[in-house]
Structure 1
């Protein structure tokens, strides 16, 4: 099996978070919220974005749009359906890869390292985003809650990805932008953890979670893996 040497151990597989690790999903989501508000003639991008963040309905649930409209006294089914279409299309078309993602993934694949996506997006959504950004070809598999039966930071998503790749935690790496949802479970499972700090737009403190590596640019992975 091909391996590359990192400072901590030999790595033969990498599990990547998707949103805000490979591309700026938060920015795309905010743009889509703004376009909805323009269509409805009510509120701002962040007025609607706060519903997705704080309503408790779920970060990707269209019910957030419905609640926003009802709370503002502007709900009707036709406009709601249009708003949902705007949300999905603008969000997808606004995805922008972070710098050095494709060149670095090409180096990783050329080195024979197996790769997987671990995401809380449903499989259908993950497939659309990976296809739109031309990233699907760089991954052996993608594990979503509808596949693993759980959401991060619970272990099943990570363990399912390891099983699909045919590898073990001790020789695998996790790369993600969330200290609680990716780095902490990676540490607990004995995996090498890489905190993609550049994508952590919420910056929720987690002083007790210490990643093995912290990167400010996706391209720094090549150095960690001695691929440069």
Structure 2
């Protein structure tokens, strides 16, 4: 079946994960620890962030987790409540530097020129997704933007993916789900969509391949892959 829509994950897909979220983590942990390096170390271990190298480890629960889930983890080692932590996470996330995985404007315009409907579904909050897409100057290219707090659940549940298909009036089998984590691809499979993995997150090809119809270096290769379906 010919694709009629593409649904993107945000972090690690539209935006390079390491270049964007390693900076976020360093800023957040510095803010929370307030100079207490022992506290920063405990928090970093809880979310599997290597303070010395300034990078998330591949098994970090923050990679595909929701802001609420990250807040719950940090609350176990820091003197803050879950609600307060979630607010601080959202505040820092909204301002984190963005590194586009590929030039987004031309790519998205090209996909829309093919008649494809476009959406974003992230396990981040909807407000942060809106802020990031707005800062990147590409919000208007998307017909649908949802976060884990938008009312349809979070990946790996297929619920928010099916909400996208319904919103743009296409069958799930006519949607391509593009993401950098197994959460994205498992959700796509459960929704009955085509699944494309990209290597701009923390997962390698060997991790994504069992769940994907294709694994691409980044979203810039998506048009070529779509051409191969014809």
Structure 2 portions without partners, runs of 5+? 48-59
- DSSP-derived class of the 2:200 partner: helix
Q: Does the 8 A contact of 1:29 with 1:91 survive in 2?
A: no
Task: Specify the alignment match of 1:6 in structure 2.
Answer: none
Q: CA RMSD in A?
A: 3.4
TM-score (norm 1): 0.74
State how far apart, in whole Å, the 1-side matches of 2:42 and 2:19 are. 15
Q: 1:13 aligns with which of 5, 30, 33?
A: 5
In structure 2, the CA distance between the partners of 1:54 and 1:194, relative to structure 1 (3 Å rule), is closer
State how far apart, in whole Å, the 1-side matches of 2:110 and 2:97 are. 26
- DSSP-derived class of the 1:10 partner: coil
Q: 2:157 aligns with which of 149, 154, 170?
A: 154
Task: Specify the alignment match of 1:220 in structure 2.
Answer: 221
> What are the Cα deviations for residues 112-165 of structure 1, in whole angstroms up to 9, with x where unaligned?
110111112222222112112222111001122333431111121111110001
- Output aligned runs, 1:1-228, within 5 Å: 9-38=1-30, 40-43=34-37, 48-52=43-47, 53=60, 59-61=66-68, 62=71, 68-70=77-79, 88-89=91-92, 92-179=95-182, 181-199=183-201, 201-203=202-204, 206=207, 209-226=210-227
In structure 2, the CA distance between the partners of 1:26 and 1:171, relative to structure 1 (3 Å rule), is same
Structure 1 portions without partners, runs of 5+? 1-8
State how far apart, in whole Å, the 2-side matches of 1:158 and 1:17 are. 10
State how far apart, in whole Å, the 2-side matches of 1:214 and 1:202 are. 11
Deviating more after overlay: 115-124 vs 161-170: 115-124
Higher Cα Rg: structure 1 or 2? 1
In structure 2, the CA distance between the partners of 1:132 and 1:65, relative to structure 1 (3 Å rule), is farther
Tell me the CA shift for residue 64 of structure 1. 5.5
State how far apart, in whole Å, the 1-side matches of 2:152 and 2:211 are. 27
State how far apart, in whole Å, the 1-side matches of 2:226 and 2:2 are. 9
Q: Does the 8 A contact of 1:32 with 1:91 survive in 2?
A: no
